[in-house]
Structure 1
């Protein structure tokens, strides 16, 4: 719509391709590879960029409050991501890789310093009040990728790799076939597992669960997610897990011209529906279409498909997982899927590199 003005609020005019962070610890990618300036893209798309951090909304979403001032709007899409729950005692001793490039680089540097080997612990948990608010898939990729990388270097025998999670069946959102494949791969790669026990906390060199505790020289852990801190004071409806409550149109419930896409929202759908970049893209498309419709006087009608698509990468190979309400496909590991994932990255980022 030529009559619309688009304003984007973010700390910096840049895009960080988070799916590629799994390759930073093993040197296949650097932070610079995955960080793209959006200045040229915004200029081409005639987008007005506002540098700042959002601290709240007022007037039912019509006013966005930032640390640099207030911005008025006629329609709002919130896509500010989730926030990791950092309440476990000693969690400062664990690295949460999906927090950003600095975290992935810290893993890289810690691995480089472990010349004599050691124990690396990989784990994740969910938000008990919103089980879908979790990041399990990347943890399998960090685990399998680092395992494969160490084997390529001829150093795997110096390391013990351990995987832990409160879930008895890790990866269950991917489907039963995927769970079997993941656990089978862990067994084949000599990964020790601690499954089904609540995590009590961490020490500098130790993981403590209700069922057992074990030492670790490097702890890589992804806690469950909740909503942004400012959500609580926004007046917008929240799910029990702290996310913005959305309907099937990605409209924040009972709000006019306020939408949400991605990890910030809690959406109706099957229990396996993931917090995943692909789902965020589908939700963003629906949110944008419905907001434009509302601004033109129409009722929201665009919905998003519940669809899980991912390649669980292992440094130079990968396993494809696809799930909808009607299908659940899991392929054997194949080097072609690794290259397909790298090709998708190139294709996805091409528009922003112009």
Structure 2
């Protein structure tokens, strides 16, 4: 029996599992992840303001794994050997005939004092910390910011910061004490949200101005203190810091011979094959892929890359050369808790539709539609 190992339990990994099983009911599929659960990160933006609870956004995958007939290995990957044919874990070795790596990325935590900032996309626990800190505040300054990986421009995830910021602003207004708070948005980028497109930058800046959110843009970050953000352009007080650093590859990549990009991700070609490797593919945040400079790190992109990886890997078992590629497409709803801005970008078009409650409810409807296949 042909056996394929999938590393991870996030968006790209689960799409790979579904596509593999749909293509071949007899295929042996091994899944390696520390926990059998999916964290639906797009909805963690609503945890700090009480629109969602941790239980709402964490899906137990054991029933899904059983339906798909996969063998789940509760373990953390530590490395590879034999050209990727054996995955090393803290619970033993898992052999394979083909490998799909979808284990996500790792946030860069090199800035001095970064322990004083909360990185919201690190997990549900981080969103809960923001919720609890916010609930205990009667006023003060809340700083929201993001940065990138200087060696890997695509390895960044700034969009959720706008959503946390707009959602908390809306929550404070509903709470009736927004006037007691100062909200400040900061980033080294002079044009925040530029990856969403020029129109999106203009729209986001207008939205911040309308909500009386101050900005501190275009200055390299120097570090954080418990009550302060420091940049090369000055410093400002902050009682709560919500910050998304740039991303790099998983630590276990260092214990492999896999090729890496300058930013530490796995170097992939347009077919999602790890460059120069035999039947080793990558999808999502773990990989560095060819494409436009705005190529997003988001769930939708991970799904598209996983589909291409599965098609090419299965084709290789049939003696076919990899030929499937993925579409470079950014699509998201920047949510404000009661409304949303729709942004779509491809290599030929960039569309932004203004804020409306319809898009907020569309985001919630998509959450239900997407998660139903895994519940």
**TM-score category by the smaller chain?**
over 0.9
| Match of residue 184 from structure 1 | 206
Structure 1 gaps of 5+ residues are none
Distance 2:25 2:64 in 1: 17
- Structure 1 SS opposite 2:163: helix
- Report the counterpart of residue 350 of structure 1 in structure 2: 372
Deviation per residue, 1:258-281 (Å, 9 max, x gap): 000000000000011111111001
The reply on whether 1:263 has 2:289 as its aligned counterpart is: no
Structure 1 stretch displaced more, 292-301 or 97-106: 292-301
* Residues 1:172 and 2:203 aligned together: no
Which structure 1 residue ranges, 4+ long, deviate > 2 Å from structure 2? none
Report whether the alignment pairs 1:65 with 2:65. no
Q: Paired residue for 1:35?
A: 58
User: 2: distance between equivalents of 1:324 and 1:81?
Assistant: 23
Say whether 1:224 aligns with 2:246. Answer: yes
User: What secondary structure sits across from 1:332 in the alignment?
Assistant: strand
Does 164-173 or 228-237 show the bigger shift? 228-237
Alignment of 1:129-144 (within 5 A): 129-144=151-166
Find 2:322's aligned residue among 300, 307, 311.
300
Shift of 1:291: 0.9
C-alpha contact 2:121 2:244 (8 A) present in aligned 1: yes
Q: How does 1:139-150 map to 2 (within 5 A)?
A: 139-150=161-172
Range that drifts further, 87-96 or 297-306 = 297-306
Q: Secondary structure of 1:220's partner? A: strand
CA distance in 1, matches of 2:352, 2:276: 39
Q: TM-score, normalised by structure 2?
A: 0.93
Partner-residue secondary structure (3-state), 2:257? coil
**Residue 89 of structure 1 corresponds to which residue in structure 2?**
112
Gaps of 5+ in 2: 1-23
Aligned ranges 1:1-354 → 2 under 5 Å: 1-114=24-137, 116-353=138-375
CA apart distance, 1:232:
2.0
CA contact (8 A) 2:78 2:255 kept: no
Deviation of 1:78 after TM superposition, in Å, equals 0.2
CA distance in 1, matches of 2:292, 2:156: 15
SS at the partner of 1:87?
Answer: coil
Q: CA deviation at 1:17?
A: 0.7
RMSD: 0.7
- 2-structure distance, mates of 1:76, 1:49: 15
Residue 296 of structure 1: CA displacement?
Answer: 2.0
